[in-house]
Chain A
Amino acid sequence: MKPQHYDAALLVAGFLVCWQLLYMLVGPEVVSPPVDTIMRAVALLRTGDFWHDAASTGAAFAYACAIAIAGGLVFGLVVGLSRFAAEVADPILGTVYSIPKITLYPIILLIFGLSPAAQIAFGVIHGIFPVAIFTMNAVRNVAPVHRRTAKALRLSPWATIATVLAPAAIPEILSGVRIGIAVTLLGILIGELFASSSGIGYALIRATERHNVVDIFALTLLLFLFAVGINALLHAGERRVCHQI
């Protein structure tokens, strides 16, 4: 066993032990024990209702990610290429990024109505800013000597972007995309918790209202594993791309 696998196993084991101890301390009214929760999660995976909710959340998540990444990349590239535009935009983007976007959800609901479109839009306003900010900074941080080389070689603007700027900026852009995807998921789930008619977040808030502790824990566990899985995949992809460049 490699040392990092050993560490990971230690972390998971410690987590499960703490969870079990907490259960023994406060009782089933508040904490559902690990074994029951895992069994319930597996049982949920076999129900049609769960997959109906998962499909609804998954579709909104996929659309929102596509729009946030495409929009953020285009904005970041265009603004990042001009030093002046980037200096103007930087603090504005930083401020917008740091405001709690949940407060804007009512506005989005008033615009789009209670629909999947509202959830997608809400996911997009979470994800687009980190992608835009990272892309913009990545392009700004490309060493001037690279740009001068492109100029000296008389590359066309397209060739400059494709063969010089993109490879130099891609590692940082990919970090932005990874963060963007993570916060888009956060946005989609918060949207579902606040107001929606389907989705995993909706199932979670229903379980909360019924005080169904086992369901709350099982759904939270599944969402947690999903988010960790996505993050691990993106990390692996990022490493491979950066390795190739």
Chain B
Amino acid sequence: MRLTKVGVTRAALVAGAVVALEVLCRLGTIPRATMIPPSEMLAALWQILKSGRADADIAFTIVNMLAAIAVSVVFGFWLGAMLHALPRARRVFEPLLSAYYAVPVFIFYPLLIVAFGVGRTALIVMGAMFGIVAMIVNTMIGLDRVPRVIGRTATVMRLDPIRRLLLMRLPAAAPHLVTGIKLAVAYSVIGIVAGEFILATAGIGKRIAFGYQDFDNKTMYGMLLLLLLLVTAVNGALSRWEKRLHHRFGRQ
């Protein structure tokens, strides 16, 4: 990574905030019952990972996340491409899609529990419900902005509709699709972790909620840190990928 003034300031700001938190916790300004110092969070996380007692929960959450993300991205892409191809249907669904995230989708979780029981399926469906619409909308935006010359080239090459979509328009729409994937990942993760928090049998979210209820701050903050690191790493990687694609294809 290049060292720039902006980058250095940002790193200093984040480091400063962590150090300030550490000092405030050590001095007791923030009581231990509320928050443990960041260094102890890290130690707690290390302990948890080394002992392996949370491995099953971590695997449970990660598998659910991957499943929900896969469902959102794959089905979101096909639904988006279908709606793009059918303008009449698109006009009908447009208001629903644009207002979708104004509705707290999470209120449907109790319905999913009734339908699927408490467990993996309800969580995955919840995660997919959070993520899929971001993918649908961004797929449509991406396909809208494919230059017309690409469609004409496909016609000249006599590609069938599926190849036309996968070989020509998909790469041309790639920057927006990556934006869709990034949002679908973020939303799916929120849906799954929130579901684990409220009502679930296992998972990272469940561990954090349990730690809170048991006044077990070490487990709670250790797992919290794990989740934050995981989300930040994935989000950072996707953002960089998105930036690179936007750069290569030029922002339209």
Contact = CB atoms under 8 A, between A and B. Distances in A.
B111 interface: yes
Interface string A183-221: 001100110011000000100110110010100110110
B250 interface: no
B101 A182 contact: yes
B189 interface: yes
B103 interface: yes
Contacts of A211: 114
A84 B6 CA distance: 7
A92 interface: yes
- Interface size class on chain A is 35 or more
Interface stretch (B8-16, B76-84, B169-177): B8-16
Contacts of A231: 99, 102-103
Nearest to B185: A98
Given A92-B14, A98-B186, A30 B198 contact: no
A94 B239 contact: yes
Given A11-B92, A228-B99, A190 B106 contact: yes
Contact of B6 (A10, A88, A109, A178): A88
A161 to B, nearest CB: 25
B13 A88 contact: yes
B24 to A, nearest CB: 13
Interface of B: 5-6, 9-10, 13-14, 33-35, 91-93, 95-96, 99, 101-111, 113-115, 186, 189-190, 193-194, 197-199, 205, 208-209, 211-212, 220, 224, 227-228, 231-232, 235-236, 239
Interface stretch (A100-108, A132-140, A141-149): A100-108
Given A102-B197, A216-B110, A194 B104 contact: no
A104 B115 CA distance: 28
A152 interface: no
Nearest to A91: B10
Nearest to A179: B101
B40 to A, nearest CB: 15
A151 B95 CA distance: 42
Interface in A1-57: 4, 7-8, 10-11, 26, 29-31
Given A103-B205, A223-B104, A30 B115 contact: yes
A137 to B, nearest CB: 14
Contact of B235 (A98, A101, A107, A224): A98
Given A101-B190, A220-B107, 7 more contacts: A92-B14, A102-B197, A103-B224, A185-B104, A186-B106, A189-B106, A208-B113
A110 interface: yes
Contact of A216 (B91, B111, B227): B111
24 contacts: A11-B96, A30-B114, A88-B6, A94-B239, A95-B235, A95-B236, A99-B232, A100-B227, A102-B194, A103-B193, A105-B197, A106-B209, A106-B220, A109-B212, A110-B33, A182-B102, A182-B104, A190-B194, A193-B106, A217-B111, A220-B108, A223-B103, A223-B107, A228-B103
